[in-house]
Amino acid sequence: MSDTASQTSEFLKDCMAAAVIKLLEQWPLDKIQVKQICDASGYHRASWFRSFHSKSEAVTYHMVRLWQLYSERHGLEGHDDWVIDNAESFFQYNYEIRDTLRLLYRRGLMKELADSFTATLHDRHIDDPDCAYRTTMFAFSLYGILREWIIRDFDQPPEVMARIVRDTIASML
C-alpha cells in the first residue's frame, strides 16, 4: 500500500473510531449500530467492515492512536516501549484524556483500554521471550495503576502518579 493510501486508510479508521467514542456518550457500545457510526463519520458500511471486526476493536484502536499521536506531538522516545523517563508524560497524557477514560470506565470498556496497552507495548515482542515477559509485566502494571487512578477519579496529579511508579520500580531493584 502506498504512503498516501495508508494515510487515507488510517484517517478513515481514525474518523470511524472517533465516531464510536462520540456515540458512547449517548449509548452503551452494544446499542451502537454500524449505521450510526457510518452516519457520524461520513463513511460507508463497507469501509467500516474493511477496517474493523468489531466496535470493541475500534475503541482499542482509538486509544492506541491517541497515545501514538500524543507521543509524536511531544517527541517522546520509546513511546511504544516502556521508558521510565516517559512516566510523567504517560500520566499527563492520561490526565488530558480523563473524560474519555471516565467514559470507558462508565461504559464498562476497561478491557478495551487494557487491550490498547497490550497492542502498544507487547505484541511486537512476542518472538523474544524475555522482552515479552518484561513488556507484559509493565503493560499490565501500568494498566492496573491507571485503572485505579480512574476509579479514584484522578485524585492525584500526574507528577505524583509518576513518582509512585518510579518509587515502586526502584523499590523492586
In the prediction, which pLDDT does 37 show? Answer: 98
SS3 for 51?
helix
End-to-end CA distance of the chain: 45
Cell numbers given for 7 = 494515510
In the prediction, which pLDDT does 78 show? Answer: 56
Domain boundaries, the chain: 1-52, 55-172
In the prediction, which pLDDT does 125 show? Answer: 56
Q: Report yes or no: 74 and 126 within 8 Å, Cβ to Cβ.
A: no
The dihedrals phi and psi of 137, each to the nearest 5 degrees, come to: -60, -45
Ordered DSSP codes for 92-121: HHHHHTHHHHHHHHHTT-HHHHHHHHHHHH
How big is the chain by its Cα radius of gyration, in Å?
17
Question: What does pLDDT average to in each consecutive run of 10 residues of the chain (173 residues)?
Answer: 70 97 98 98 95 97 94 74 72 96 98 89 70 79 94 97 91 83
- Under CATH, which number does the domain 1-52 receive? 1.10.10
